[in-house]
Amino acid sequence: MQTIINKVELRNLRIEDYKELRLTMQHAYKEVDMDMEEPYWGEQDIKRLLKIFPEGQLVVLVDGKVVGSALSLIVDYKKATANHTYEKITGNYTFSTHDYDAEVLYGIDVFIDPNYRGLRLGRRLYDARKELCEQLNLKSIIFAGRMPNYNENSEDTTPKEYIEKVRLKEIHDPVLAFQLSNDFHVIKVMRNYLDGDKDSQDYAALMEWNNIYYDKSPVLINARKSVVRLGLVQWQMRPLANVEALFEQAEFFIDAVSGYGSDFALFPELFVAPLMADFNHLSEADAIREIARYCEPIRKRFQEMAISYNINIITGSMPMVEDGNLYNVGFLCKRDGTYEMYTKIHITPNEVSYWGMVGGSEIKTFDTDCGKIGIMICYDVEFPELARLMADEGMDILFVPFLTDTQNGYTRVKHCAQARAIENECYVAIAGCVGNLPGVNNMDIQYAQTAVFTPSDFSFPSNGIKAEATPNTEMTIIVDVDLDLLKELHEFGSVRILKDRRQDLYRIKKQPVTKPEPKSESLTEIHMEGIEVPKPAPARTPRVTGTTKVTPTRKTPAATKTNTLPRATNTPRAPRVSPAKPAPTGTGTEIKSTKRQVKG
């Protein structure tokens, strides 16, 4: 190797380079034990290659001199992976197997002048091949690699054992070791691939590098995005006169984040809680069941806004009654007009004792125009099995609407969400409610800091936090996340958590479950100290106060208006008067606990 190098250049091969190319090939194959009359391509061969596929022929130059090259064709995947010989795959050296409509970049030759080895010029050629494979949207790079040191080890080692020993660095093979270090994997061993290759005893290792960006059916319109913009709403709990006031405030945020080109809008868990104020004279369990009647109208209005503002909306969560059971559910309202429902799986002790909630029974991911996503409600993110099951289905982004009343609860949600991002190599977006709500029992204080978390590797923030909102302040955060970085992480990360799992030792899977039995519509149950006390639903207290008017801050587009509501918008609110404490005995007696319990 020359001692001083002024310039290294990598470019496409030109016919004017042929004389230097031929000399380099002669030097490269001089010491190879092969029965070949002329170990180099003829000038007519190179002309033919440059005519049919000029972009696939690469050279590397040092100070203007050709010192290495990589030559390629595009061939059919089935032909490339079937047993074949070098002569057959090149069309008897005519390159007639080249097909621009095929899926594989097939390497027919790569060589470096021995005087210039050690400069990693071969790696440059392979990196350029990979870039070409991605640009042409090809499935993979395939070639058959020689095993030049196999002849020395063939007496006591089969080709398969030889390859494994090279992989474990027990045996050194300059060709195989180089390919394996460049993220190629062995498909199979082929015999009689290159006639006369005595060093390899005519064996070759068929190897492949997969293009993680390959799209089998590329489209120009509605193509899936690689960079996705998230709009997260940190919602201020405030008194609301009616459900229209809720819609007005929600639409303000949807308008804002969609105006910045967001692909998703995420609302917090139970952000509809202010609507319980009208039922504060009832028990907590009855009050939340009263606002469950709004579930369907809220879903319909958000569905309309998803279309109107061209954005996918994750509606946080809200109570829903089905077969007499109370669930915590939300909706993914897609901008194409469709929607899907998700349910909270794990119910906190607080939600059971105060509201009598039950958990859902379906774990699933959702296909969107921005990739596959998962949605968990608050407490669910503290159970790592759920996220791992979703990651196995290809989840790129996990959305977590949450509601926590204290910093302790928020800390659990935050750190568990961050752990889910790292261990599942995905983005996790969390959004919560802030502020005080003195007019609603069991919902008086909230604490939140909305954020987006990332995996932990060089392509991501060093602390794993892409963005954070100001704690306990109503606001939005707009965040871009790059899904291509996740693909690179899965394949080439410093650590590869999903790929390196020992599934020969352990694995998790979904279990078949049945829904809870339907409950009677006429009774609710209160659980206290392990005793179930049936209680008739109380009669509705007449409302005697006047209406509260909320001045709208912006006008809602007519396209998203609806006149179908479960109650009149001017219903007067009942006075905030604590009922007299009844004796804690007797069937049908209402029992209220004064002990506060944390949420989240």
Residue 123 counted as domain residue = yes
Q: What is the pLDDT of residue 428?
A: 98
339-343 and 371-375 beta bridge pairing: unpaired
Assign 317 to helix, strand or coil.
Answer: coil
Same domain, yes or no, for 197 and 255? no
Last residue of a domain, one of 492, 507, 538: 492
Supply 387's token pair.
Answer: 């996220």
Give the whole-number percent of the chain exceeding pLDDT 70.
83
**Residue 561 within any structural domain of the chain:** no
Q: Both 206 and 232 in a single domain? A: no
CA 369 from chain centre, in angstroms, equals 12
List active site positions: 269, 344, 378
Q: What angle do CA 50, 28, 107 make, to 5 degrees?
A: 45
Do both 195 and 245 map to the same domain?
no
- Domain boundary, last residue among 184, 210, 236: 210
Range of the domain at 150: 8-210
Contacts of 306 (CB under 8 A, 6+ apart): 312, 313, 333, 334, 335, 337, 339
Residue 122 lies in a domain: yes
pLDDT at 565: 37
pLDDT tens for each residue of 329-348: 999 999 988 999 999 999 99
Same domain, 270 and 365: yes
Q: Could you tell me if residue 273 is inside a domain? A: yes
Whether 276 and 336 map to the same domain: the answer is yes
322 with 469, same domain?
yes
- Note the pTM of the prediction, 2 decimals: 0.67
Q: Do 48 and 152 fall into the same domain?
A: yes
Q: Is the residue at 595 inside a domain? A: no
Average pLDDT of 370-378? 96
Same-domain pairing of 429 and 288: yes
Last residue of a domain, one of 492, 523, 543: 492
Q: In this structure, what is the dihedral angle of CA atoms 459, 461, 463, 467, given to the nearest 10 degrees?
A: -140
* Interior angle at CA 497, CA 398 and CA 171, nearest 5: 155
Contact, 491 vs 183, CB < 8 A? yes
In a domain, 547, yes or no: no
Here the CATH number for the domain that contains residue 184 is 3.40.630.30
Would you say residue 362 lies in a domain?
yes
Beta strands in 131-196 (DSSP E): 140-146, 185-191
Per DSSP, what are the bridge partners of residue 414?
none
**Residue 254 clears pLDDT 60, i.e. is over it:** yes
Q: Which residue has the higher pLDDT, 318 or 350?
A: 318
- Please indicate, yes or no, whether residues 183 and 123 belong to a single structural domain of this protein: yes
- Give tens-digit pLDDT for 57-109: 999 999 999 999 999 999 999 999 999 999 999 999 899 999 988 999 999 99
- CATH of residue 252's domain is 3.60.110.10
- The answer to whether residue 270 is domain-embedded is yes
Of 408, 416, 406, nearest in space to 377 by CA: 416
Report how many domains make up the chain.
Answer: 2
| Whether residue 190 is found in the same domain as residue 274 | no
Q: What is the pLDDT of residue 225?
A: 78
Q: Phi and psi for 400 in degrees, rounded to 5?
A: -130, 95
The 10s digit of each residue's pLDDT in 147-174 is 988 988 888 899 999 999 998 999 998 8
Q: Are residues 134 and 74 in the same domain?
A: yes
- How far is residue 264's CA from residue 305's CA, in Å, rounded to a whole number? 12
523 or 473: which carries more pLDDT confidence? 473
**Contact (Cβ atoms closer than 8 angstroms) between residue 341 and residue 375:** no
Task: Tell whether 249 and 333 lie within a shared domain.
Answer: yes
Among 162-176, 204-218, 342-356, the range of highest mean pLDDT: 342-356
Write the pLDDT tens digit of every residue in 124-144: 999 999 999 999 999 999 999
